[in-house]
Structure 1
């Protein structure tokens, strides 16, 4: 265990090839995410942008450090320290990515703040003790290092389970509240609504299964494979989150509408359901529904709220206005 943490491990040829494949794939995925982020966001600021950058930087650094630690067999404190910092940025940063777009499906500030409190609390309760234990594993006298390493191993198992529960909880909120709070819009975009439902459910399942894989590696004492596979696992999760949140925001903006003539009292429907459910429930939408004299529903664009803009997800009408 001590040699694994410090990186001074004798590896077979197959083990070295597996570690190299996992780390280089993680590096490639991180570079791909950088390209996606910088080509998608036209305004590079805000919580969503910076949380993506921090989380992806953690993935990138962790993957590079894995190569140095285990293939170059550095056995020094510097690569291990970078791995620890990258792990903190990678894990908590990804939860902040989800939290920064939670307002798309949750319209209670209390709930949103509560999720942020959970993220901050877990970061303090898990990252800080892990860092202290890691320092003691390196700084303690040789005769005491074995005891600190055992404590570090136990706390690492606890932390990976807690972070899995945290991410599962947040993605579960997206899946449940997305289906519940966006239900009024399903009447107008039936096909797209089904896709969004599948996207949210897929986000929940993919995040849970990938985290479960890391837990299995951790509890079967495959420390090296668990460590080197983290960048790849978290890069996959970050790509999935990036794609799903993009599609979710495009759906809530309702740039187009599949509305048809309503035979059953369109005026009552538009003043009742649309005024109470769509306008009040789906806060932050950039389209408003109005009823024409003929009884047809039409979409009237409103001014976009800055906190609901996903840079790069313009509708066609918005693009034409910007080109003028």
Structure 2
């Protein structure tokens, strides 16, 4: 019956190599102990012969035996020293293999998180698409429902872009972890799709004074007695100060007959003294003129 051997991991290979070196060192140390003991016996015997006045032949043979044992002990000491160096190298290799194994495990866990995110993204897309379809399926397309569907689609695109970025960052972290946190050449991060700026929620109103306001870096101006789309955030203050009114207001109907309903007047100049800054209406220290439409 044929048995298939499992392939050993680097840690197991270095562990076996270290154990073999340690066993070899133990055997050499035992042989060295025996050789040194034999050398001591030969030395004592040669010394005894010399003190007893033995012949030159006996002394030569005793010295020859002592030198042979001494050379053997010297060779064994060199072998033990070399084995000690090999054991040190094997211990270092084993420590590095263990550290690499731990780094690989950590990197695999990081890559597993990235893979799980990538597997979850299609399910998220399906769910978001189903939600948008549920909102827009009906024949009566309400403004709120359409706006909600647009928000869901924006969130969907933002989540997909963020998922792509985080997966790249996780895989880059896994690469650095696997390499031992050394500087490695990484691919540039994926280009994140920039989402369009959300549209400002507006309300069509009729101006009673020339107005100005800011939308980001852009300055907007509207002439008096014209219809304009005013940001809803500015509408409450503009109404409270009677600088605008709703299109269905009675006085607006009269003013439309007098001045017209379209943007017939040119945009007011920035230095027009009658220009009302809607952004400054909320400041308590500033007094804004009230509309005179009597």
Common fold: TM-score over 0.5: no
Q: Which has the higher helix share?
A: 1
Alignment TM-score, normalising by the size of structure 2 = 0.25
Q: Which has the higher strand share?
A: 2
Which has more radius of gyration?
Answer: 2
